[in-house]
Chains A and B, each alone.
Chain A
C-alpha cells in the first residue's frame, strides 16, 4: 500500500486539480438556490448563469493547462488528456445550454433543477475523464449517470420519457454493478485500484495469468460497454434517446459518450496491453458488431431521433476501431472523433429540434418534407451535419473516420477497416434518406414551419457548423492537441 501523507501543499494541489469541477458544483448549487428566489419571468437568468459557470470552468481548465497536477494522492489527475476531454464535455455542455437559452420555455425545461442536473452531470463527466483510480472513475460514472436518468424522464407527462428513463436507469444500474464488480475482482487480484500501480503490475503480461484479473477486466469492459452503448449492451439507447427532451438527447449523445470513452481510453491504453491476447479479439468483435447492428437497425427507422440514436451506436463502434488498434494513433483518432462527433451530433439534434413542433410525433421523418428549399439555411446546416456523420469530405466527420481507419490499417487490422468503411457506406443510406425527405420529396400539404431560433440557439448551431467544417479542412491544430493529450496519458 502506498501511504497517504498529510501535507497542506498536497491538499492545495488536490483542490487545484479539481478546480473546474468545484466551479461547476458551486454553479449548480447557486442555480438551485437562485431558482427559489427568482420570479417566473426571471427564470431565463438561470440558463445564462449556468452557461457562465460552464464557461468559467472551461476557462479554469485552460488556466490549469496541460501540466500534470496529481490530486488526492493519485485519485485524480489533471493533465493534457483530462484537458482534452474537459474541453469536449464542457463545450458540449455550453452548446446545449446556449441552445436552452430562449428554448427551455418551449420545452418545459425552464427550471432550476434542469440546469443544476446538467451541471452536476457535467461534473461527473470531468471526474470520470480525469480519474486515475478505478474508484474515482466509478464515482464519476455515478455522478454523471444519476442526473442523466432524471433528465431523460424530465418531461414526465410523456409515456416515452418514462419508458426511456426507466429502461436507462435499470440497465444503467446493471452496468454500474458490473463495473463495480469488475473493480472488486481487480482489487482482489492485485490489492489496488490505482491505475498507475495496476499498469506497473500488468505490464508485459504480468497479470495475464490471473483469471481473477482477467474476469475483472472483462466486467469492467461490460460496464463501459453499457455506458457507451456497445452491442449487445445498447438496448436502452434508442428508447432513452427518444424519450429524453431533445436537448438532453443531444447532451447525452455527445458528452456522456465522450466521458465514458475518456475513461475507457485511459483504461484501454494503460491496462489492455497487459492482457491484449485475451481482450484484443473481444474488442475487435465488439467494434464490428456494434457498428453493424447500429447501422442496420437505423435503416428501417422513421423517427429521426431514433435514427440518430442507432447512428450513435454505430459511431461508438467506429470509435472502438481506434481502441482495437490500441496504439497512440488509435487513441488519438478516438479523441479526435469524439470531439467532432460532439459538434456534429449536437448540431444535427439542434436543427431537428427547431423543425419538430413537438416531441414524439414531431420527429417523424415525414415532417421534413420540403424543409430544405423552404428554409435553406436550416436545410444546409442539417445536410452538413448529416454529411459529416456519414463521413464524407470536406467535413470533420471524414477526417475523423480517416484517422480511425488509418490507425486500424497501420496496426494490420485491414479487415476491420474494410468492414468499417463498408459500414459507413451502408450508413449513407439512412443519412441520405433524411436529405431525400428534406429536398427530393414534394411536400404533401403544408410544409412544417420551423421555430425561429433565438440568438443563443443560432449561435450554437453556427458554432457547430464552423467546427465541423474547420475540422474537415484544417484539422492540424486539433490533431496536435489530440496527439499531445494521448502522450500525456503515458507519462
Chain B
C-alpha cells in the first residue's frame, strides 16, 4: 500500500485529533436528527479506522524503535513536548481501539435514543483520549490523555446508564482519579530526579528510560504508578468500581470500558511502570503475580454466582485481566507477547460478550439469568454467535483466547510455576461459569418466551458481530502475523529491562533482602 509520505508522517496526529474534529462538528449539528448524527459518528470512526490501517501495513516489524514519530515542543519552559509514536507494544492496542469504535457506535443505533448528539460527542472524545494514551511517548502527554478519558466515560455512565448510574459514575471517577493523582506526584518526582541527574528538564519517555533511578526511589514510584494502573486494570483488590460501572453503563460504554479502557491500565504497567522502575518490578513481581492469580480465581468464583449476565461478564474481566498481568510480569518474551495478545483477545471477546448481552437486553429489558431459558429455539443465530464468543472467552483451542492464555502460561511457567498451577484452575472456572450461564440462558426449556419479545439478530447486529467473529477465528488459527509485528519491540524490551535490572543491582550485596534494600531493615 502506498500512501502519500506527507500523510504518513502526520498520521498519528491525525488519528488522535480526527475524533476531536468530529466531536467539534457534532457540537454544531442540530440535535433533532438522531439518525444523521449516528451516521456521521459512524463515518468518523470508520474513517479513523481506515486511516489506522496504513499504520499497521507500513509498520516495520523488524525494528524495536518508535515509528511514525512526531515531536513538537509544547511547553518548552517545562521541557514538555508533544511526542507521539507507535511501536510493537502499542500498535495492536491502537488498532483495537480504532477497530472497536465503529462497532460500538453501530451498537448504539437502537439502544441510544435520548441525547444522541451528546452521547456521540462523548464517544468521540473518549476515542481521542484512548488513542492518545497509546500513542503518547511523553510522560506529561500520556497523563493528559489518561485523565481525558475519565470525563466522557463519567458522562456515558452517568447519563445513559441504568438504575444506579450516578453512584456507579461517581465511584468510577473518584476511584480512578485517586489512583492517577498519586501517579502525578511520582511523575513530578521522576521529572525532578531526571533534572538533578542530567540537568535537563524533560518528560520524554526515551530520555527517562535511560535513567538509573536509585532503588528506594524506584520502589515508591513503582507503587504510585502501579496504584494508578492497578485501579484501571483493575487488579484485585482495586476492582470494586468495575462491576458497578459495567452493569450501569450503556452497552457501548461497557464495550469500550472492557475492550480499551481497562487495557490502558495494563498498557501503563508495560509502557511506564515496568521499564522505568525495573528493580522494583522484579522485586515486586511475586507480589503482583500473587494479586494477579488471586484476581483470576476470585473473579471467576464471584462470576460464578452472579444472577445478572452483565455483572458476570464484568467479573470475568477481573479474572481475564489477571491473566494479562500474570503474563506481563513473567518478564519474558512469551509472557509479554501473550499478555499483549490477550489484551487484544479480551477486547474482542469481552467486547462481543457485552454486545451480545446488549442485544438481548434491548429486546427483553432484563439481564437476569433466571428470566431467560431455552432462547436458542427462537434466536438460533444469536445463540450460535454468543456460544462462539463464549468459547473464545474461555480459551477453547482454535479460537483467539487459547493462544493468548497459552503463551501467558508458557511465559509465566518459567518464572513462577506455582502461580501457573493456580491460574490454570481459573481457566477451568471460566469454562464453568460461562458455560453454566449459557446453559441457563440459551438452552433448556423455553420459559418466559412471550415476555421476552426476543427476535434474532438483525442485519446491523450481524454486521458488527461479524468482524469480531472473524478475528476470533483469525487470531485463534493463525496468530503469527499478530505476534511477528511485536517480536522486535518485545525482544528488545525484555533484554533492556533485564539489563537495567542487572546493572542497577551490580552494587548491591548478594542475597540482600527486600526489607534491607528498601527500608534499611537489617538484622
* Bound CA–CA A409/B144 (angstroms): 19
- The one of A429, A439, A480 in contact with B170, judged by C-beta atoms closer than 8 angstroms, is A429
- The one of B77, B173, B184, B189 in contact with A432, judged by C-beta atoms closer than 8 angstroms, is B173
List, in ascending order, chain B residues with CB within 8 A of A439's CB: 155, 158-159
B137-153 vs A, CB cutoff 8 Å, 1 = contact: the mask equals 00000011001101100
- Closest B residue by C-beta to A479: B77
Interface flag for A425 (CB, 8 Å): yes
Interface flag for B118 (CB, 8 Å): yes
Taking a contact as CB atoms under 8 Å apart, the answer to whether A373 and B118 are in contact is yes
- The one of B148, B173, B188 in contact with A405, judged by C-beta atoms closer than 8 angstroms, is B188
The distance from the CB of A379 to the nearest CB of chain B, in whole angstroms, is 9
Taking a contact as CB atoms under 8 Å apart, the answer to whether B188 and A440 are in contact is no
- Closest B residue by C-beta to A412: B192
List, in ascending order, chain A residues with CB within 8 A of B76's CB: 476
Interface stretch (choices A41-49, A262-270, A414-422): A414-422
* Bound CA–CA A414/B217 (angstroms): 12
The prevalent SS among residues of A at the interface is helix
Interface flag for A428 (CB, 8 Å): yes
* Bound CA–CA A409/B77 (angstroms): 17
Known: A392-B147, A429-B170, A439-B159. A417 touches B177 (CB 8 A): no
List, in ascending order, chain B residues with CB within 8 A of A418's CB: 182, 185
* CB proximity to A under 8 Å, residues B402-416: none
The distance from the CB of A353 to the nearest CB of chain B, in whole angstroms, is 24
Known: A417-B185, A432-B173. A394 touches B155 (CB 8 A): no
Interface size of B in residues (CB-CB distance below 8 Å): 33
* Bound CA–CA A436/B192 (angstroms): 38
* Bound CA–CA A405/B78 (angstroms): 13
- Closest B residue by C-beta to A406: B188
The distance from the CB of A417 to the nearest CB of chain B, in whole angstroms, is 5
List, in ascending order, chain A residues with CB within 8 A of B118's CB: 373, 376
Taking a contact as CB atoms under 8 Å apart, the answer to whether A436 and B151 are in contact is no
Taking a contact as CB atoms under 8 Å apart, the answer to whether A428 and B177 are in contact is yes
Interface flag for A290 (CB, 8 Å): no
Taking a contact as CB atoms under 8 Å apart, the answer to whether A432 and B182 are in contact is no
Interface flag for A410 (CB, 8 Å): yes
* CB proximity to B under 8 Å, residues A294-349: none
- Closest B residue by C-beta to A377: B27
List, in ascending order, chain A residues with CB within 8 A of B78's CB: 406, 479
List, in ascending order, chain B residues with CB within 8 A of A479's CB: 75, 77-78
Interface flag for A483 (CB, 8 Å): yes
Interface flag for A475 (CB, 8 Å): yes
List, in ascending order, chain A residues with CB within 8 A of B188's CB: 402, 405-406, 409-410, 417
A449-491 vs B, CB cutoff 8 Å, 1 = contact: the mask equals 0000000000000000000000000111001100100000000
- Closest A residue by C-beta to B118: A373
Taking a contact as CB atoms under 8 Å apart, the answer to whether B177 and A476 are in contact is no
- Closest A residue by C-beta to B158: A440
Interface flag for B270 (CB, 8 Å): no
Taking a contact as CB atoms under 8 Å apart, the answer to whether B77 and A394 are in contact is no
Taking a contact as CB atoms under 8 Å apart, the answer to whether A402 and B169 are in contact is no
Interface flag for A254 (CB, 8 Å): no
Taking a contact as CB atoms under 8 Å apart, the answer to whether B189 and A409 are in contact is yes
Known: A476-B77, A480-B77. A436 touches B170 (CB 8 A): yes
- Closest B residue by C-beta to A390: B177
Taking a contact as CB atoms under 8 Å apart, the answer to whether A409 and B150 are in contact is no
Taking a contact as CB atoms under 8 Å apart, the answer to whether B181 and A440 are in contact is no
Taking a contact as CB atoms under 8 Å apart, the answer to whether B189 and A422 are in contact is no
List, in ascending order, chain A residues with CB within 8 A of B75's CB: 474-476, 479
- Closest A residue by C-beta to B185: A417
Known: A432-B154, A436-B166, A439-B159. A421 touches B143 (CB 8 A): no
* Bound CA–CA A322/B143 (angstroms): 22
* Bound CA–CA A474/B143 (angstroms): 16
Taking a contact as CB atoms under 8 Å apart, the answer to whether B165 and A425 are in contact is no
Taking a contact as CB atoms under 8 Å apart, the answer to whether A436 and B174 are in contact is no
List, in ascending order, chain A residues with CB within 8 A of B181's CB: 421-422, 424-425
Taking a contact as CB atoms under 8 Å apart, the answer to whether A392 and B151 are in contact is yes
Known: A376-B118, A476-B76, A480-B77. A440 touches B169 (CB 8 A): yes
* Bound CA–CA A402/B144 (angstroms): 11
* Bound CA–CA A475/B170 (angstroms): 30
List, in ascending order, chain A residues with CB within 8 A of B169's CB: 436, 440
Taking a contact as CB atoms under 8 Å apart, the answer to whether A394 and B174 are in contact is no
Most buried by A among B155, B184, B191: B184
Interface flag for A59 (CB, 8 Å): no
What are 25 A-B pairs at a CB distance below 8 A?
A373-B115, A387-B151, A392-B151, A405-B184, A405-B185, A406-B192, A410-B188, A410-B192, A414-B189, A421-B185, A422-B182, A425-B177, A428-B174, A429-B170, A429-B174, A432-B170, A436-B169, A436-B170, A440-B158, A440-B159, A474-B75, A475-B75, A476-B74, A476-B77, A483-B77
Given A422-B178, A422-B181, A424-B181, 7 other A-B contacts at CB below 8 A? A387-B151, A392-B147, A414-B189, A428-B174, A429-B170, A432-B154, A479-B78
Taking Cβ atoms with an 8 Å cutoff, the residues of A that contact B are: 373, 376, 387, 392-394, 398, 402, 405-406, 409-410, 414, 417-418, 421-422, 424-425, 428-429, 432, 436, 439-441, 474-476, 479-480, 483
Taking Cβ atoms with an 8 Å cutoff, the residues of B that contact A are: 74-78, 115, 118, 143-144, 147-148, 150-151, 154-155, 158-159, 165-166, 169-170, 173-174, 177-178, 181-182, 184-185, 188-189, 191-192
